[in-house]
Amino acid sequence: MKIDLSGRVTVVTGGTAGIGLAAVRLFLEAGAAVAFCGRDKDKSADVAEVLRTDYPRAKILAEACDVLDKSNVKAFASAVKTTFGGTDMLVLNAGQARLSTFDDTSDAAWREELELKYFSVLNPAHAFLPQLEMSDTAAIVCSSSLLGRQPEPHLVATSSARAGQLSLVHGMAHELAPKGIRVNSILIGQVASTQWRRRFDALEDKSVTWEIYTKSIADRAGVPLGRIGTPEEAASAIFFLATPMSSFTTGSTVDVSGGLSRHVG
C-alpha cells in the first residue's frame, strides 16, 4: 500500500541518525514536507545536504534544537510554521538508554533520565499543539521502548522513565482525542543504533564483524527472531501510526521488538 503525503508536513525530533533519520526518509519518499532537528548544528546541516541530493524535489527544513530547552523548541516550531505553514505529524524520537543499576545511579542521573524522557515529549507537544490543532490528520508518535513495560535491572533509570513516558503518552491520547489529534507510541527492543555502533567500533577484537556482533546481542537478549531490528523497521511502524493508514488508532503501542516482549497484547 502506497500513501501520498503531498501537501502534508511532518516534524521529526532526533532526526539526524538512526530511527529518526530512517523516518525522515520514509516521509520524504511519500511526498511530505519534512522538518527535522538534532542538537548538533553542523550534523543537521550535513544530513540535510545529503537528503536534498537524494530527494531533489523535496521540501526540507533542518534545525539545531535541544528538545529539553523550551525556547529552542518554540523557535523550531516557529520556523516550521513560517516555512511550511503548519504541522500535520509530529514524531518524537529524542532519547537514549542509560546503563545503570539501582545501586550505582546517582541522584543527578535519575533527574537527567526523567527529564529527558518526559520533556522530550512535553516540550515539542506543547510547542506544536497549536499547529496540530489546525490539521485534519493530526498525529503524534513517540519512539519509546519495551523497557517501559518490561524493565531490565541494568537499565533501571531508563526503564522507570520509559514507564512514566508511556503513561504520559497514553494520557495525552485521551486528552487530545477531542481535538482530533491521535497519539501513539512504538516500543522498540534491540534495534541497531548509533549507541550500538559506537560500542562496536570500540571493540578491541577487530576480527568481529557487525553481523556477528549484533547476532550476539540478539542471542544474549533472547530475541526470538534471532537478530536485532533495523532503524527502517522501527521507522515503518512510526510511519504507519503517523499517517492516515492508522486513522482510527490512538492511545496504542506497536511492539517492534522481534518477539522479545513477554506480554500478551
pLDDT at 264 over 80: no
Of 71-75, 213-217, 247-251, the range with the lowest mean pLDDT is 213-217
Q: How many residues does the chain have?
A: 265
Q: What is the pLDDT of residue 207?
A: 85
pLDDT at 200 over 70: yes
Taking Cα atoms as reference points, which of 16, 96, 89, 48 lies closest to residue 245? 89
Residue 28 to residue 2: CA distance in whole angstroms: 13
Of 149-158, 194-203, 236-245, 255-264, the range with the lowest mean pLDDT is 194-203
Residues forming a β-bridge with 33: 9
Amino acid in position 9: V
71 within 8 A of 124, measured Cβ to Cβ: no
Task: Taking residues 231-251, report their average pLDDT.
Answer: 97
At 55 the three-state DSSP class reads coil
Q: How confident is the model at residue 199 (pLDDT cuts 50, 70, 90)?
A: confident
Residue 242 to residue 97: CA distance in whole angstroms: 24
Rounded to the nearest 5°, which phi and psi values hold at 178? -60, -20
Residues 34-49 pLDDT 10s: 999 999 999 999 999 9
Q: How confident is the model at residue 194 (pLDDT cuts 50, 70, 90)?
A: confident
Residues 12-28 pLDDT 10s: 999 999 999 999 999 99
Rounded to the nearest 5°, which phi and psi values hold at 15? -100, 15
Residues forming a β-bridge with 187: 144, 255
Amino acid in position 168: L
Four-way CATH pick for 9-191+232-256: 3.40.50.720, 1.10.10.10, 2.60.120.10, 3.40.50.10470: 3.40.50.720
User: Which pTM value belongs to this model?
Assistant: 0.94
Share of the chain above pLDDT 90, in %: 80
Domain with CATH 3.40.50.720 in the chain: 9-191+232-256
Residues 159-182 pLDDT 10s: 999 999 999 999 999 999 999 999
List, as one string, the DSSP characters of 118-169.
Answer: HHHHHHHHHHHHHHHTT-SS-EEEEEEEGGGTS--TTBHHHHHHHHHHHHHH
Q: What is the pLDDT of residue 38?
A: 94
Q: What is the pLDDT of residue 139?
A: 98
